[in-house]
Structure 1
Amino acid sequence: MSTVRIRPARPESPADAAALAAAVSRNRAYMRPWEPYRPETYYTPEGQAERLGDGARRWFAVDELPEGERVAGVAILSGIALGPFRSASLGYWVDPEYGGRGLATALTEEVCRAAREELGLHRIEASTLLDNHASQRVLAKCGFERIGTAPRYLHIDGAWRDHHLFQRILHDDPPPRA
């Protein structure tokens, strides 16, 4: 059995962009019900290189295979706001081939650790489609609480879809003074 580990994505790495392009291409049909529309360039190494440089922070669950690393899952921390808000939005997905191994939970926990310890964030928010019970279980295991429901929140799979909203408070320390 191969070893899966979690590591930060390297925005400057062509190998990371290629591995991520392979992963999103491999999971394109699986992700369709959960993701917004993506242009064809999204599924290319160039498209993923652009995404890796967009300012969001990403972590990969990588399977260490004899031929190299294979991305088994991704967690993304985007919309990072500092100042008095100190918050960000979390997104994640795991290749269904790697499901049931706790990777989504491990990715989420690593993002929460890094958000607190490395970025000094106060909270992280996440949203799920109403029927995405697997993601809701991951968030609950990781200490997120449901804070509401947003009607027609995101355009997913061709329609505006309602989402449950969640947050996890990481700490109650005051923001650092500039």
Structure 2
Amino acid sequence: MSTQPSVQETTNTVAEPQKDVRSPEEIERLCKLHDSYKPIWLTETIQLAPVLPSDKEALIRHLNDPRINQYLYGPPNPYTPEDADQWIAGRIDRMTKNGTPLNLHLRDMAKGGIAIGAVTASDASDDDLQGDDTGYWLDPEYHGKGLMAKALRMILRRVSIDEVGKRKFNAHTFAENWPSRRTLEKAGFVFQPEMQKSHIVAGREIKIWVYRLYLTDEDISKMEIVEEAVPLPSLIQ
């Protein structure tokens, strides 16, 4: 969303929690499902895996990085330890009925599994296309490698499309964020020039680009399956 050299592959990551009240037993069951979710290998060293309590430090560091947060209008700025605690604690409110996480972190397993980015799937109704059905951010060190486009395509297909049954998606990105625009387009989203919006960020008005992805069952049958990478043998536990 900027012509600056440090443009980000970033979009809004706001997610509404589910409204039901779960019992302690249900929360415990879902926690176990969440934490046991099998990671997806994006590259031979980078995984797409569930949010963990140990991600707190990385979340605080990344979401306070101006190269990242200047393109986010969802998370608080500054992003505090309390914000990280609240986000991590709410991860069980962001799962499908089958126990699949809707919020996943990209992890560099060659660096001890540190969180380097995040991507969000959607279980919102196809009748509600006002908010964001996708959200993501990525450490600038990892830009230009196609990681986010691949992660987004994987999580949309595996979770939102196949498991949830969604067929319509809505996404926003800041008007000057060209890398984010390319990421959405690689995932099949189409720019909607007649639907541009604006948002106030840090006291200034930011133009927002709207993207949409509408799929039929025939479209899905023709979609290319994004294959997982083969991890380095030394990273397999």
Relative to the length of structure 2, the TM-score reads 0.59
1:22 alignment counterpart: 57
Cα gap change, 1:170 to 1:51, in 2 (>3 Å): farther
Superposed CA offset, 1:102-151 (max 9, x none): 11111110121121111100122111111000000111111110123433
Matches within 5 A, 1:126-165: 126-148=171-193, 149-152=195-198, 154-165=199-210
Unaligned runs of 5+ in 1: 11-15, 174-178
Higher strand fraction (1 or 2): 1
Q: Give me the whole-angstrom Cα distance separating, in 2, the residues matched to 1:171 and 1:157.
A: 39
Q: Give me the whole-angstrom Cα distance separating, in 1, the residues matched to 2:214 and 2:173.
A: 18
Q: Give me the whole-angstrom Cα distance separating, in 1, the residues matched to 2:181 and 2:82.
A: 27
Q: CA deviation at 1:43?
A: 6.2
Q: Give me the whole-angstrom Cα distance separating, in 1, the residues matched to 2:59 and 2:152.
A: 19
SS of the equivalent of 1:93 reads: strand
Q: Is 2:168 the partner of 1:123?
A: yes
Cα gap change, 1:86 to 1:45, in 2 (>3 Å): closer
Stretch moving more, 54-63 or 126-135: 54-63
SS of the equivalent of 1:121 reads: coil
Matches within 5 A, 1:1-178: 3-7=45-49, 9-10=50-51, 16-19=52-55, 21-27=56-62, 28-29=64-65, 30-36=67-73, 38=76, 40-41=79-80, 45-55=84-94, 57-65=102-110, 68-78=112-122, 80-82=123-125, 85=127, 89-113=133-157, 114-148=159-193, 149-152=195-198, 154-172=199-217
Q: Is the 8 A contact 2:197 2:207 kept in 1?
A: yes
Aligned length: 162
Relative to the length of structure 1, the TM-score reads 0.76
Superposed CA offset, 1:58-113 (max 9, x none): 122111136x31112111135x323x627661111111111122111111101211
Cα gap change, 1:53 to 1:166, in 2 (>3 Å): same
Cα gap change, 1:170 to 1:18, in 2 (>3 Å): farther
Q: Give me the whole-angstrom Cα distance separating, in 2, the residues matched to 1:42 and 1:170.
A: 39
1:176 alignment counterpart: none
Q: Is the 8 A contact 2:106 2:117 kept in 1?
A: yes
Q: Give me the whole-angstrom Cα distance separating, in 2, the residues matched to 1:45 and 1:169.
A: 33
Which of structures 1 and 2 has the larger relative contact order (alpha carbons within 8 angstroms, sep 6+)? 2
Stretch moving more, 50-59 or 26-35: 50-59
- Which protein has the larger Cα radius of gyration, Structure 1 or Structure 2? 2
